[in-house]
Amino acid sequence: MNRTLSRDTPTLVNESVTLKGWVHNRRDHGGLIFIDLRDHTGLVQLVFNPATTQDFALAGELRDEFVIEVNGKVVARDETLKNDKLPTGTIEVVVQSLRILNRSEALPIQPFSDEQQANEELRLRYRYLDLRREKMQTMLKKRAAYYKTIRDYMEEREFTEITTPILANSSPEGARDFLVPSRVHEGKYYALPQAPQQFKQLLMVGGVSRYYQIATCFRDEDPRADRLYGDFYQLDLEMAFVEDGETVRQIMEPLITGLVTDFAGKRLSQPSVPRITYREAIEQYGSDKPDLRYDMKLVDMSDIYVNSEFGVFKNAITGGGLVKAIRVQNGVSLSRSQIDAFTDIAKREGAGGLAYLMIEDGEVKSPIAKFMSADELTAVRERLQANEGDAIFFAADTYETVHRVLGKLRSEFAAHFNLANPDEVALVWVIDFPFYEWNETEKRVDFGHNPFSMPRGGVEAIRLAEDKLSIVADQYDMVMNGYEICSGAVRNHNPEIMYESFAALGYDSTYVEEKFGAMLNAFKFGAPPHAGCAYGLDRIFMVLTDEDNIREVVAFPKNGSGVDVMMNSPSHVDPAQLSELGGK
């Protein structure tokens, strides 16, 4: 009978067993050979004795990572030889026969040695070997359990799992599409879906009450530590007859809090998940994805310096900008070189420099303190509730630059001083995103999240708005420890609003019908109001498993350059294949 090693074998003392697995290591002790055999459940010690093993000479050929099958008898170890560190440490298997199922060359990486861990590029090249590591095996099993928890939750709430097409049409979701040329229709292209957005809305029109799927999505975005290149997975969902985003938030929030506490065994930083508007998030934290495990809010100082003699601050205010500051506890411990490093960060975000005050020995010390009055210095300390040992850092510039600079510094200071508790998870809903935003690259107004959201106030909000950037949509993100893990909205199910929202940006009805004809036609036949969202499953799992690199939580990721070094992808295509597609 085939057995799994650590789960079954210790219960079978004096029984005959058949075991299969990898040679984990090999030890020669005089006339005996000891092998630690490994499978997905753990290790068990095999004993090869020339007196009892038929194939003892063959055992001498065994090396690490050979795949073998043995028949033998489970025996209890002597008390002095027991290994309390192994689940199978009380027994060993005396081998009677051996069969080598496959041999192994010397491994190019050492997956079982923490001291000899290969770099990421080499590990990804030999990912099938890297997956043999206990950590990676645990990740794969835990990820499967994670998916099961999600599916159970959705099924209990009467969501229906429905798959949507992978070969689809191009859709403006904020990133570049992956295009697939059509052989049958030369010169035309499919697009791999950035998200199943249009299909799930059409399911609502089709009478589906609640839809979900664990969807594969494709985006040609530059990879980061928290973003995979190419394909990624999201929990995609939509609900019919929902007109308020809070309905979606209340239904889905317990899933995420349960994953934090019950699945991952972590502590929530707050008993309930707060809601803050996009504007509040930017103005208080300098980011629409703030990490709330620490405070360090951005505080407006403009009224204090509006008549100041310090020209840098006064000029920023009179020029239509503002002055804000953050308090960094124990900031006086920063060295000159460390402050220079933070100054460089501020400059990369658009600041001209980094002004600061240090509160040390009861005094305010700084190169800029001499340009400020005693009343100004006192007012700043009081507003920030700054104490002995604190540092105060300022930004004086336009609205956008001030928040971008201080938001970046806030996270950098938190990392430097280890302010974020790794055992804690802070969740927050950021709501009421701008419907439109300024596209700095193209120097024009564009859609914010996407064109499928419902502007608050409907079509009149678009027609009557003097400033398009003031229009707010019922859009919402969930943020976990500073990472955006969910994006959603109440959808625009009205053709009139769809036409009007594009017209405001200069697109005519022909463009809208060409891009979204299927949705527009469907909305003409009794489309119910609907809302939904999508959760980034890889990113959530990364946070819940305390990983800093999202590639560690995926079985076969591409590297930081978007290359699959194991499969040599992307690669050149055979000319015959290109010819079929009309290529040169």
**β partners of residue 240:** 530
Of 487, 498, 493, 452, which Cα lies nearest the Cα of 206?
A: 493
What tokens does 21 get?
A: 């697995």
On whether the CB atoms of residues 217 and 233 are closer than 8 A, the answer is yes
Per-residue confidence (pLDDT) for residue 174, from 0 to 100: 63
The secondary structure of residue 79, as a DSSP letter, is: G
447, 172 Cβ separation under 8 angstroms: yes
Give the per-residue pLDDT at 1. 46
Looking at the fold, whether 485 and 401 belong to one and the same domain comes out as: no
Inside any domain, residue 125? no
Domain count, the chain: 3
Same domain flag for 91 and 172: no
Residues shown for the chain:
584
Q: Are residues 269 and 195 in the same domain?
A: yes
Residue 415: per-residue pLDDT: 96
Residue 215 lies in a domain: yes
The reply to whether 170 falls in a domain is yes
Looking at the domain assignment, is residue 564 inside a domain? no
Distances (CA, A) of 155 to 159, 305, 324, 440: 5, 57, 48, 43
CA separation for the pair 452, 194 (Å, rounded) = 14
Do 446 and 535 lie in one domain? The reply is yes
Tokens 């969910």 sit on residue: 486
* CA within 13 Å, CB half, 377: 18
One domain for residues 363 and 383: yes
Q: Do residue 27 and residue 68 come from a single domain?
A: yes
Place of tokens 């005519």: 508
CA nearest to 151, candidates 240, 214, 234? 214
Distance (Å, rounded) from C-alpha 539 to C-alpha 553?
9
Nearest C-alpha neighbor of 193 from the set 174, 217, 223 = 217
| Residue 365 zone, left/alpha/beta (φ > 0; ψ -120 to 50; rest) | beta
Measuring CA to CA, how many Å separate 231 from each of 170, 215, 228, 391, 554? 16, 10, 7, 43, 11
Residues 501, 529 within the same domain: yes
Q: What is the CATH number of the domain that holds 543?
A: 3.30.930.10
CATH number of the structural domain spanning residue 353? 3.30.1360.30
Do the beta carbons of residue 456 and residue 489 sit within 8 Å? no
Q: Which of 154, 137, 93, 275 is nearest to 534 (CA)?
A: 154
Cα–Cα distance measured from residue 333 to residue 201, given in angstroms and rounded to the nearest whole number: 54
**Final residue of a domain: which of 85, 102, 119?**
102
On whether residue 574 sits in a domain, the answer given is no
**CA–CA dist 555, 553 (Å, integer):** 7
Q: Which string of DSSP letters, residue by residue, matches 482-494? A: TEEEEEEEEB---
- Check whether residue 365 and residue 478 sit in a common domain: no
Q: Which two tokens stand for residue 6?
A: 């650590």
Q: Which two tokens stand for residue 540?
A: 């959530």
- Residue ranges making up the domain that contains 47: 2-102
**Angle subtended at Cα 20 by Cα 8 and Cα 142, rounded to the nearest 5 degrees:** 65
- Residue 120 lies inside a defined structural domain of this protein: no
DSSP calls for 220-266: B---BTTB-SEEEEEEEEEEES---HHHHHHHHHHHHHHIIIIIS--
Can you give the CATH number for the domain in which 54 is found?
2.40.50.140
User: For residue 30, what are the contacts with CB-CB under 8 A and spacing of at least 6?
Assistant: none
* Predicted pLDDT of residue 384: 95
Q: Report how far apart, in Å, the C-alpha atoms of 471 and of each of 11, 420, 459 are.
A: 68, 34, 11
Statement to judge: residues 441 and 535 lie in one domain: yes
Contact 61, 28 (CB under 8 A): no
Q: Domain check: are 166 and 214 in the same one? A: yes
pLDDT at position 115 is 60
Three-state secondary structure call for residue 285 = helix
- On whether residue 387 sits in a domain, the answer given is yes
Residue 206 located in a structural domain: yes
Tell me whether residue 363 is exposed, middle or buried, using C-beta atoms within 10 angstroms of its C-beta: 0 to 12, 13 to 18, 19 or more.
exposed
Same domain (yes/no): 374, 440? no
Q: Which pairs with CB-CB distance under 8 Å and at least 24 residues apart come from 314-321?
A: 316/396, 316/397, 317/396, 320/398, 321/396, 321/397, 321/398, 321/399, 321/401, 321/402
pLDDT tens digits, the chain, 584 residues: what are they?
456 777 778 888 999 999 999 999 999 987 899 999 999 888 999 999 999 999 899 999 999 999 999 999 999 998 888 998 889 999 999 999 999 999 999 999 988 876 667 789 999 999 999 999 999 999 999 999 999 999 999 999 999 999 999 998 876 656 789 999 988 998 889 999 999 998 999 999 999 999 999 999 999 988 888 899 999 999 999 999 999 999 999 999 999 999 999 999 999 999 899 999 999 999 999 999 999 999 999 999 999 999 998 999 999 999 999 999 999 999 999 999 999 999 999 999 999 999 999 999 888 888 898 899 999 999 999 999 999 999 999 999 999 999 999 999 999 999 999 999 999 999 999 999 999 988 878 888 888 877 889 898 888 888 877 788 889 999 999 999 999 999 999 998 988 888 888 888 888 888 888 888 888 889 989 999 999 999 999 999 999 999 999 999 999 999 999 999 999 999 998 888 888 887 65
Same domain? 395 vs 435: no
Cα 129 to Cα 104, 117, 249, 493: the distances in Å are: 12, 12, 41, 49
